[in-house]
Protein backbone atom coordinates (compact mmCIF):
# COMPACT_ATOMS: atom_id res chain seq x y z
CA UNK A 1 0.00 0.00 0.00
CA UNK A 2 2.78 2.49 0.88
CA UNK A 3 4.57 1.58 -2.31
CA UNK A 4 1.39 2.06 -4.34
CA UNK A 5 0.74 5.36 -2.58
CA UNK A 6 4.21 6.67 -3.39
CA UNK A 7 4.04 5.45 -6.98
CA UNK A 8 0.92 7.54 -7.55
CA UNK A 9 2.85 10.74 -6.87
CA UNK A 10 6.28 9.89 -8.26
CA UNK A 11 6.99 9.77 -11.98
CA UNK A 12 7.85 6.39 -13.48
CA UNK A 13 11.58 5.65 -13.63
CA UNK A 14 11.53 5.08 -17.41
CA UNK A 15 10.17 8.58 -17.95
CA UNK A 16 12.95 10.01 -15.82
CA UNK A 17 15.79 7.89 -17.16
CA UNK A 18 14.87 8.59 -20.79
CA UNK A 19 14.44 12.32 -20.22
CA UNK A 20 16.84 14.23 -22.46
CA UNK A 21 18.02 16.51 -19.63
CA UNK A 22 18.73 13.59 -17.30
CA UNK A 23 20.68 11.85 -20.07
CA UNK A 24 22.92 14.90 -20.30
CA UNK A 25 23.90 14.47 -16.67
CA UNK A 26 25.39 11.08 -17.35
CA UNK A 27 24.92 7.46 -16.39
CA UNK A 28 25.01 8.06 -12.62
CA UNK A 29 21.50 9.48 -12.69
CA UNK A 30 20.31 6.56 -14.77
CA UNK A 31 21.03 4.12 -11.94
CA UNK A 32 17.70 2.33 -11.26
CA UNK A 33 18.32 2.33 -7.50
CA UNK A 34 17.89 6.11 -7.48
CA UNK A 35 14.32 5.75 -8.68
CA UNK A 36 13.28 2.43 -7.11
CA UNK A 37 10.83 2.34 -4.20
CA UNK A 38 11.70 -0.21 -1.53
CA UNK A 39 12.25 -0.21 2.22
CA UNK A 40 16.00 0.37 2.06
CA UNK A 41 15.88 3.09 -0.56
CA UNK A 42 13.00 5.02 0.99
CA UNK A 43 14.23 4.90 4.58
CA UNK A 44 17.75 5.89 3.53
CA UNK A 45 16.45 8.69 1.34
CA UNK A 46 14.25 10.08 4.08
CA UNK A 47 17.10 9.97 6.60
CA UNK A 48 19.42 11.71 4.13
CA UNK A 49 16.87 14.40 3.33
CA UNK A 50 16.10 15.06 6.99
CA UNK A 51 19.81 15.31 7.81
CA UNK A 52 20.34 17.74 4.93
CA UNK A 53 17.44 19.84 6.20
CA UNK A 54 19.52 20.68 9.27
CA UNK A 55 22.59 21.78 7.29
CA UNK A 56 22.60 25.58 7.55
CA UNK A 57 23.53 26.32 3.94
CA UNK A 58 21.57 27.41 0.90
CA UNK A 59 20.73 24.84 -1.78
CA UNK A 60 20.23 21.96 0.64
CA UNK A 61 18.35 20.10 -2.09
CA UNK A 62 21.50 19.91 -4.20
CA UNK A 63 23.36 18.37 -1.26
CA UNK A 64 20.53 15.86 -0.81
CA UNK A 65 20.55 14.98 -4.52
CA UNK A 66 24.31 14.43 -4.56
CA UNK A 67 24.03 12.39 -1.35
CA UNK A 68 21.26 10.28 -2.88
CA UNK A 69 23.49 9.53 -5.85
CA UNK A 70 26.45 8.64 -3.61
CA UNK A 71 24.41 6.46 -1.23
CA UNK A 72 22.21 5.08 -4.04
CA UNK A 73 18.90 5.90 -2.35
CA UNK A 74 15.70 7.27 -3.87
CA UNK A 75 16.42 10.77 -5.09
CA UNK A 76 12.73 11.63 -5.42
CA UNK A 77 12.26 11.15 -1.67
CA UNK A 78 15.59 12.60 -0.46
CA UNK A 79 15.17 15.96 -2.18
CA UNK A 80 11.64 16.82 -0.96
CA UNK A 81 12.51 15.63 2.57
CA UNK A 82 14.79 18.67 2.78
CA UNK A 83 11.68 20.85 2.77
CA UNK A 84 11.37 20.07 6.47
CA UNK A 85 13.36 23.27 6.84
CA UNK A 86 11.53 25.96 4.94
CA UNK A 87 11.21 29.70 5.56
CA UNK A 88 8.52 29.10 8.19
CA UNK A 89 10.22 26.30 10.13
CA UNK A 90 13.84 27.36 9.74
CA UNK A 91 14.01 29.98 12.54
CA UNK A 92 12.60 27.71 15.29
CA UNK A 93 14.57 24.68 14.04
CA UNK A 94 17.86 26.53 13.95
CA UNK A 95 17.22 28.25 17.27
CA UNK A 96 16.57 24.83 18.80
CA UNK A 97 19.81 23.57 17.23
CA UNK A 98 21.64 26.53 18.75
CA UNK A 99 20.20 25.76 22.20
CA UNK A 100 21.24 22.10 21.88
CA UNK A 101 24.76 23.18 20.93
CA UNK A 102 24.90 25.59 23.87
CA UNK A 103 23.82 22.81 26.21
CA UNK A 104 26.35 20.33 24.79
CA UNK A 105 29.21 22.83 25.06
CA UNK A 106 28.03 23.92 28.52
CA UNK A 107 27.87 27.59 27.54
CA UNK A 108 25.56 30.43 28.46
CA UNK A 109 23.07 31.24 25.69
CA UNK A 110 23.95 34.54 24.03
CA UNK A 111 21.46 37.35 24.31
CA UNK A 112 20.77 38.95 20.99
CA UNK A 113 18.09 40.93 19.26
CA UNK A 114 17.07 39.71 15.82
CA UNK A 115 17.43 42.03 12.84
CA UNK A 116 16.74 41.04 9.28
CA UNK A 117 20.03 42.11 7.72
CA UNK A 118 23.12 40.50 6.31
CA UNK A 119 25.39 42.54 8.62
CA UNK A 120 23.52 41.28 11.68
CA UNK A 121 23.78 37.70 10.42
CA UNK A 122 27.54 37.95 9.92
CA UNK A 123 28.20 39.66 13.26
CA UNK A 124 26.02 37.27 15.27
CA UNK A 125 27.15 34.17 13.42
CA UNK A 126 30.75 34.94 14.36
CA UNK A 127 29.83 34.72 18.05
CA UNK A 128 27.49 31.70 17.95
CA UNK A 129 28.87 29.53 15.15
CA UNK A 130 30.34 26.76 17.33
CA UNK A 131 27.23 25.86 19.35
CA UNK A 132 25.03 26.48 16.31
CA UNK A 133 26.91 24.10 14.00
CA UNK A 134 27.35 21.46 16.71
CA UNK A 135 23.63 21.63 17.49
CA UNK A 136 22.75 21.39 13.78
CA UNK A 137 24.91 18.29 13.40
CA UNK A 138 23.61 16.56 16.55
CA UNK A 139 19.93 17.38 15.96
CA UNK A 140 20.25 16.52 12.25
CA UNK A 141 21.88 13.17 13.00
CA UNK A 142 19.29 12.33 15.68
CA UNK A 143 16.39 13.33 13.43
CA UNK A 144 17.86 11.34 10.52
CA UNK A 145 18.32 8.27 12.68
CA UNK A 146 14.79 8.60 14.07
CA UNK A 147 13.28 9.00 10.60
CA UNK A 148 15.28 6.01 9.31
CA UNK A 149 14.19 3.74 12.16
CA UNK A 150 10.58 4.97 12.10
CA UNK A 151 10.34 4.44 8.33
CA UNK A 152 11.73 0.93 8.62
CA UNK A 153 9.34 0.07 11.47
CA UNK A 154 6.28 1.50 9.74
CA UNK A 155 7.17 -0.22 6.46
CA UNK A 156 7.64 -3.51 8.31
CA UNK A 157 4.32 -3.13 10.16
CA UNK A 158 2.60 -2.37 6.88
CA UNK A 159 4.04 -5.54 5.31
CA UNK A 160 2.97 -7.64 8.31
CA UNK A 161 -0.53 -6.15 8.13
CA UNK A 162 -0.70 -6.86 4.40
CA UNK A 163 0.37 -10.48 4.93
CA UNK A 164 -2.22 -10.94 7.69
CA UNK A 165 -4.97 -9.45 5.52
CA UNK A 166 -4.03 -11.70 2.64
CA UNK A 167 -3.98 -14.75 4.90
CA UNK A 168 -7.40 -13.79 6.27
CA UNK A 169 -8.82 -13.38 2.78
CA UNK A 170 -7.40 -16.77 1.79
CA UNK A 171 -8.85 -18.35 4.94
CA UNK A 172 -12.28 -16.82 4.26
CA UNK A 173 -12.19 -18.01 0.65
CA UNK A 174 -11.41 -21.58 1.75
CA UNK A 175 -14.29 -21.53 4.21
CA UNK A 176 -16.71 -20.50 1.47
CA UNK A 177 -15.70 -23.32 -0.86
CA UNK A 178 -17.98 -26.35 -0.72
CA UNK A 179 -16.38 -29.39 0.88
CA UNK A 180 -14.94 -31.90 -1.57
CA UNK A 181 -17.17 -34.88 -2.36
CA UNK A 182 -16.25 -37.88 -0.31
CA UNK A 183 -17.12 -41.44 -1.44
pLDDT in tens, 67-99: 998 898 998 899 999 999 988 888 889 889 999
Which whole-number Å values give the CA distances from 161 to 24, 74, 134, 167, 170, in the listed order? 42, 24, 40, 10, 14
Dist CA 26 CA 35 (whole Å)? 15
Q: What pLDDT is recorded for position 176?
A: 74
- Domain map (residue ranges) of the chain: 38-109+117-173
* Bigger pLDDT: 1 vs 133: 133
| pTM, rounded to two decimals | 0.77
Band the pLDDT of 15: cuts 50, 70, 90. Answer: low
Q: So what's the pLDDT on residue 81?
A: 93
Amino acid sequence: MAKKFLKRFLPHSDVIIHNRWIKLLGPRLQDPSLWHINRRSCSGALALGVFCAFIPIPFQMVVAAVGAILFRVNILIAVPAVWLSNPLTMPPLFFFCYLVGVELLDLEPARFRFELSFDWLLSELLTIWQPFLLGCFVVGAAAALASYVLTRILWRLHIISHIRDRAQRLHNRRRRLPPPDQP
